[in-house]
Structure 1
Amino acid sequence: MSYIHYKFVSKMEQKTITFNGLHISLTELKKRIMAQENLKATTCELQISNEKTREKYTNDKVQIPKLSSVIVRRKPIGGVKTGGKMLTL
């Protein structure tokens, strides 16, 4: 059994995803993290980067090797909306 450690930027706790094989695709890693964290794909997407090099994984076909540690950021789908109103003078 292989594993990858992940940690959200905003949290101190590190968690683990287990899988079979020598590596896991970025797409599959995102799916497993979202399932483990009970996140919905309709509300946010995940940005994954290597913990040591800080390199962002952008190609969903990239293979992440076992025993890696990654940092996860949640990004709202559609960007961030502001709650304030614009005043005109």
Structure 2
Amino acid sequence: MTAATPSVCQGKPVAGRLQLPFVQRLDFERLIEKYAVWVVPGAYVAWLADTRRDPFERQPGETRAIAACRAIVAAKIGNTVSVPAELIQL
């Protein structure tokens, strides 16, 4: 999946993209400061973020908060994460 691929298609999540519905409730500015997340507007996606200033590690997001959270998860856990079945809504 490319960085320009949206994570939601016609209201339904796209397989393989981390969905973060709780992000709007968080004070993500504190997370951005704590993890030194670099967040900028993207050319082909709304926002790009990463914690290592590495162009190959940038994470896309529809909002600044979502891009920042994806960058933090990728830096701390990796690009592939396991999610318990009870947290997955189909």
TM bin, normalised by shorter chain, reads: under 0.3
More strand by share: 1
More helix by share: 2
Larger relative contact order (CA 8 Å, sep ≥ 6): 1
